[in-house]
């Protein structure tokens, strides 16, 4: 069923101080042909401050057309400085367990569950790839199910907390004064082992937000540890290109369901249920285009320059799909 909302947590299981009624969920894109399909969990980026709608519906449609049953993850984010710590990692771990445990219900192969994460969503996917053994589940039923992904696509991923870190992602995740131990744990290139799932990485040289060194660091760690990987670096392109199509460039993202936590937060602010001024609620809605008005992100000249990079970068989904086909043949 397409559009089904699958909540990750039941009553009493989920605790995040700035949730304001939000509970993380998956949105399904499931074929109705009764065949068994590989599964793809799409994980939008947004610096752990939001889950970008540009990296939800569009890649979900792409992988759906490629034969996947797809699930878009709306995970816990931190817009107003309530450090997330391990909550997003718990969210994605539970998501994998739900899909694997429900393989028959969702018509997926439980041994062909891939992740596709963008930017901070790439960090979250890579975190599960290297730390899956650390994340237990309080529910005995789910604890008995593996949370290890079978493969991952890491799109312009945040990887390191070191020299080339995307600092705002680390602040959103760990707070402004993280310990050295926390920073080391979230510097994912340091935790790749032979048990890390196969990974497909891509990024652009000219990414001005997340330095391209992030993907190089993870790819090199995969090489050293004998992990199957592919690494594609394109010569030009801005950060956050999603599937790099004209539809993406024109910001035609469909219903912004990945921003539900942001909408609920804005409502709470407007209603005086937070320490922030009530007028900030309307500001939040406007910032994320949730006030009904479409926001232009680029000038016409900037848009034309980006358009010239789409042909080169836009091949990445086909490259990833072909690579995954080889991975599934080996499984």
Pairwise CA distance, residues 108 & 36, whole Å:
5
Mean pLDDT of 221-236: 98
- Distance, CA of 176 to chain centre: 22
Q: What are the extents of the domains in the chain?
A: 5-330
Q: How far apart are CA 329 and CA 114, in angstroms?
A: 14
**Cα 239 to Cα 100: distance, rounded to the nearest angstrom:** 32
* Cβ 124 vs Cβ 89: under 8 Å: yes
Contacts of residue 167, Cβ cutoff 8 Å, sequence gap at least 6: none
**What b-and-e string marks burial along 159-195, b requiring 16 or more CB atoms within 10 Å of the CB?**
bbbeebbbeebbbbbbbeebeeebbebbbbbebbeee
What average pLDDT does this structure show over 171-190?
Answer: 98
**Confidence check: pLDDT of 20 > 70:** yes
| 5-330 fold | Rossmann fold (3.40.50)
Q: What is the pLDDT of residue 1?
A: 61
Strand partners, 234: 204
Residues of 126-135 as b/e, b for ≥16 C-beta within 10 angstroms?
A: bbbbbbbeeb
Tell the burial category of 329 from Cβ atoms under 10 Å away from its Cβ (0-12, 13-18, 19+). exposed
Residues 118/242, Cβ–Cβ less than 8 Å: yes
pLDDT at 3 over 90: no
Mean pLDDT on 59-71: 98
β-pair partners for 5: 27
Model confidence at 146, pLDDT cuts 50, 70, 90, reads very high
Query: pLDDT-derived band of residue 330, with 50, 70 and 90 as boundaries?
Result: confident
Q: Are 162 and 191 in contact (CB under 8 A)?
A: no
Q: Is the dihedral of CA 271, 272, 278, 282 positive or negative?
A: negative
Closest CA to 87 of 188, 173, 20: 173
- The answer to pTM > 0.95 is yes
Compute the half-sphere exposure of residue 263: CA atoms within 13 Å on the CB side of its CA.
15
Q: What is the pLDDT of residues 97-128, one digit of tens each?
A: 999 999 999 999 999 999 999 999 999 999 99
């Amino acid at each position: 069923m397409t559009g089904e909302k699958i909540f990750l947590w039941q009553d009493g299981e989920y605790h995040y101080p700035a949730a304001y009624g939000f509970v993380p969920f998956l949105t399904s894109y499931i074929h109705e042909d009764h065949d068994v399909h590989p599964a793809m969990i799409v994980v939008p980026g947004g610096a752990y401050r939001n889950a970008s709608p540009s990296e939800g519906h569009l890649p979900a449609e792409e992988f759906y057309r490629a034969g996947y049953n797809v699930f878009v993850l709306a995970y816990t984010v931190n817009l107003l400085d309530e450090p997330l710590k391990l909550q997003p990692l718990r969210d994605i771990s539970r998501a994998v367990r739900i899909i694997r445990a429900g393989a028959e219900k969702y018509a997926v192969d439980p041994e062909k569950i891939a992740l596709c994460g963008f930017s901070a969503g790439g960090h979250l996917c890579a975190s599960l790839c290297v730390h899956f053994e650390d994340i237990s589940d309080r529910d005995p039923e789910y604890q008995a199910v593996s949370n290890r992904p079978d493969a991952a696509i890491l799109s312009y991923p945040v990887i390191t907390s070191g020299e080339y870190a995307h600092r705002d992602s680390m602040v959103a995740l760990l707070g402004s004064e993280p310990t050295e131990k926390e920073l080391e744990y979230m510097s994912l290139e340091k935790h790749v082992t032979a048990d890390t799932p196969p990974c497909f990485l891509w990024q652009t040289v000219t990414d001005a937000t997340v330095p391209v060194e992030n993907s190089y660091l993870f790819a090199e760690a995969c090489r050293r540890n004998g992990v199957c990987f592919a690494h594609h670096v394109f010569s030009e392109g801005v950060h956050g290109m999603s599937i790099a199509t004209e539809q993406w460039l024109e910001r035609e993202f469909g219903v912004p369901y990945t921003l539900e936590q942001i909408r609920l937060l804005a409502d709470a602010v407007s209603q005086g249920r937070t320490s922030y001024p009530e007028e900030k609620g309307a500001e939040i809605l406007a910032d994320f285009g949730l006030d009904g008005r479409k926001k232009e992100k680029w000038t016409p000249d900037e848009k034309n320059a980006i358009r010239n990079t789409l042909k080169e970068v836009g091949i990445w989904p086909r490259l990833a799909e072909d690579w995954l086909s080889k991975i599934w043949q080996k499984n």
